[in-house]
Amino acid sequence: MLLEALLAYAHIGAILGLVVFMTSQAALCRVEWMNEAVVHRLGRLDRLTDIAALTVLATGLARAWWGAKGWDWTWSQPLLHLKLTVFIVIGLMALPPARAYRRWRAALAAGQGLPSEGEVRQARRWVMIQAHVLLLLPLAGTLLARGIWTR
C-alpha cells in the first residue's frame, strides 16, 4: 500500500513538473516579451520539459510494473494505450518549438537578431496545442484508475 502511494506521488509530481515547464514556455514565448534572455530561457525550459516528460513516462511505467494492479492488467487496458499514444503525439508536437528554440539561439550567436513575429507565434501555437492535448491524459488516467472502460 505504501509503495502504491509513493509511486502515485512520484507520478503526480512528475506530471506537475511537466505542466509547470510547459506553461512557462507558453508564458514566455510571446512576441511582445521576446529578447535574448527569453530565447536562452526557452531553450532551458525545453530541456526541462523533456526531462519532466521522461520522468512522467518512467514513473508511469513504474506504477504499471510495481503498482497494485500489476503489469498484466495495466498493459491489457485500451485506456493505457490511449494515454501512451496521446503522450507520444504530445512529444512529437514538441519537436517544432524545440527546433525553433535551437534555431533562434544559433541565430543570436551568429548575430542575426531575434526571431520574427511569425516564428514566435508558430512556436507558441505548438506549445499551446500541446498544453491543451495534455488535458486528455489525466482524464484517461482517472478513468483507468477507477476501472471505467476497462477490460
Residue-wise pLDDT for 21-55, tens only, equals 999 999 999 999 999 999 999 999 999 999 999 99
Residue range 2-145 forms a domain whose CATH class is mainly alpha
Tens digit of each residue's pLDDT (9 = 90 or more) over 50-91: 999 999 999 999 999 999 899 999 999 999 999 999 999 999
CA dihedral sign, ordered 71, 77, 78, 79: negative
* Model pLDDT, residue 151: 87
Q: What would the mean pLDDT of 140-151 be, rounded to a whole number?
A: 92
**Distance of alpha carbon 72 from alpha carbon 128, whole angstroms:** 35
Whether pLDDT at 10 is above 90: yes
* Model pLDDT, residue 1: 87
Hey, where are the domains in the chain? 2-145
